[in-house]
Structure 1
Amino acid sequence: MGAWGFGSFENDDAADWLDELGDHQSLALVRETIAAVLEAEEQLEAPEACAGIAAGELIAAAIGRPSGAARKQEELMIWISKMRPSPDAALIADAVSAIDRILGPESELRELWAETDDFAAWQADVAQLRSRLAF
């Protein structure tokens, strides 16, 4: 059974991304994920957007601004405490741009949420992530 909710980690793509994170010893996966969002041609596909949100949550947590949802992800918090990642300003700026793209008109994830009663809640959740990333 698939997981689906408007929270950052309430979907299968974010869960799969978290599983993959455990195989990495650096921010390489985070950088790749953010780059995939920014480099997507035409429409940004929903799975990439969901992974991009999860990567953004990791960055926010690593800079000391975790969400309640991130704090509940034991796997994520253990990885951060073990690896002690230090996202640079460029990665943080790219993450903000990725969130803008996810919230934008060429995002399949945005289109999918726009068709639901939870659209405003999803937008608010993602916008709140953006505000934790932006300086």
Structure 2
Amino acid sequence: MAGDFCDTLDKAAEDERESTLRRTLIHAIDTQGYLDADVAQEAVVAAALVATQCLDGEPVNPHFGPDQPLPELSTDLRELAVQALDRVLGEPSELAQLWGEANKVGTWRTNLSRL
């Protein structure tokens, strides 16, 4: 799923990449009820990509991130990224449920909080 989302970003024109990230974050934020794992995973990837441009942000792993560089992103995406991550971590969220079933929810939450 993360690779698919990065492929989508790579296929988008440079001036469309930010709007692709924005739409992905907003989709997760605005989802009412059960948050599907696919939507949540894309939101996590989008948030991680936004975080790379923050002060002290970790660079994208070249094996897992998009091949094409991202443009300088608007800083308002940072708040959307936080809101999307809050939604992914909240209930009802299939991704949170799956990590809980794997008994790795603590590590997962810690990693997401670093973003």
Normalising by structure 2, report the TM-score.
0.85
Partner of 2:52: helix, strand, or coil?
helix
Q: CA deviation at 1:78?
A: 4.2
**Aligned to 1:40, which of 5, 24, 31?**
31
Q: CA deviation at 1:63?
A: 2.8
Q: How many residues align?
A: 112
CA contact (8 A) 2:89 2:96 kept: yes
Query: Which residue of structure 1 lines up, in the alignment, with residue 11 of structure 2?
Result: 23
Q: Supply the AA of the counterpart residue of 1:42.
A: G
* Closer/same/farther in 2, CA of residues 28 and 55 from structure 1, 3 Å limit: same
In structure 2, distance between residues paired with 1:121 and 1:14: 19
What do you get for the CA RMSD once the two structures are aligned? 1.9
| Paired-residue identity, % | 25
Unaligned runs of 5+ in 2: none
* Closer/same/farther in 2, CA of residues 46 and 19 from structure 1, 3 Å limit: same
Q: Supply the AA of the counterpart residue of 1:76.
A: P
Query: Which residue of structure 2 lines up, in the alignment, with residue 104 of structure 1?
Result: 90
Normalising by structure 1, report the TM-score.
0.73
Unaligned runs of 5+ in 1: 1-12, 130-135
Q: Would you say 1:53 and 2:40 are equivalent positions?
A: no
